[in-house]
Amino acid sequence: MIEEFFKKNRELISRQLEIFLSIKGKELGGVPWGKEVSARLLSFSLGGKMIRGGLVLLAYDVFGGKNKQEAIRAACAVELLESSLLIHDDIIDKDYLRRGERSIFADYGENLGICFGDIGFFLAYEILPHGLREIFSKKSIEVGLGQMQDIYLSFSKKSIDEKDILEVYLYKTASYSCSLPLMMGAALAGRDQKTVLKMEELGKYLGVIFQIKDDELGLFGEEKEIGKAVGGDIREGKKTLYYLYLFERASGADLKRLKDVFGNKKIAKADILYVREMVKKLGVDKEINKKLGFYEKKAERLIGNEKLFKELLGLSLKRKR
């Protein structure tokens, strides 16, 4: 089962991260903050589901890679990239809760938090196997640009359409969450450029599905399952497909209330329940499912009969956390 695969590999990645970051902690023992930053980056990274690292190993397996140790190091690099992006993301969004714990922003503030993230990036490159650097940089740059667009859309007055939102999903999420690890696994297993590019494309579809499900969980999930505050996307007025479809379909008093609720830091639980109700009442959930079906078909065409990828697609559509 694919859940078993991720669980087993999460263990392997965790062990490697422990080894790497405790060696770094010792090396940096004489530098102020050296031990503390290594230890916190380790505990923060260990708190992740390690789906991205797992995807490196999954693609590596599918393409018959033989040097598992190297693939695990690649997985660690992706996990450290992810941790660092989240650390900066929490500063940008002023999020106090992450992975079920106080965020690094909450504990250290913005300025030290910026440094935490920067150091995490440098560590990611240190453990990254040679030969993956170009892919790694290319996709990381896309995430940074996608993050900028996400920030921009959150304060811009321009009217936002589906293309804007999907662009953010593609660059901010799919690029490093799915395309990058799948490309790394394929490249590390010695596959040619064509296969690597096919993985990039598959990653796009899986990544968009992943993000839509993430939006759904942010709206309908429970805090203890998702490890962050429920309704955070509503409070931030985040431009998700849910947001877009709700505003396209609502009218009258409902439209007015939705406008009051989205982007309002002080909403109550009842407001979140109201948004949930509107999602159903206005058929937004059906529209979202149609979208998911569209990307599912695209992914299926690329996957063919590859069993692990098929299971992965299934999992990404039914995940609850």
SS (H, E, C) the chain: CHHHHHHHHHHHHHHHHHHHHHHHHHHCCCCCCHHHHHHHHHHHHHCCCCHHHHHHHHHHHHCCCCCHHHHHHHHHHHHHHHHHHHHHHHHHHCCCEECCEECHHHHHHHHHHHHHHHHHHHHHHHHCCCCCHHHHHHHHHHHHHHHHHHHHHHHCCCCCCHHHHHHHHHHHHHHHHHHHHHHHHHHHCCCCHHHHHHHHHHHHHHHHHHHHHHHHHHHHCCHHHHCCCCCHHHHHCCCCHHHHHHHHHCCHHHHHHHHHHCCCCCCCHHHHHHHHHHHHHCCHHHHHHHHHHHHHHHHHHHHCCCHHHHHHHHHHHHCCC
Q: CB nearer to a copy of itself: give 187 or 250.
A: 187
- Our CB check for a copy of itself shows the closer of 101 and 167 to be 167
As measured in angstroms, the least distance from the Cβ of 115 to a copy of itself is 5
Nearer to a copy of itself by C-beta: 24 or 213? 24
Is the Cβ of residue 144 or residue 263 nearer to a copy of itself in the bound state? 144
CB of 35 to a copy of itself, least distance (A): 10
Q: At closest approach, how far in Å is the CB of 205 from a copy of itself? A: 18
Instruction: Give me the least distance between CB of 54 and a copy of itself, in Å please.
Output: 23
CB of 108: closest distance to a copy of itself in angstroms? 9
Nearer to a copy of itself, 125 or 220 (CB): 125
Least distance between a copy of itself and beta carbon 162 (Å): 15
43 vs 137, beta carbon nearer a copy of itself: 137
Positions that interact with a copy of itself (CB under 8 A): 24, 28, 31-34, 37, 85, 88, 91-92, 110-112, 114-119, 121-123, 125-126, 130, 133-134, 136-138, 140-142, 144-149, 151-152, 167, 171
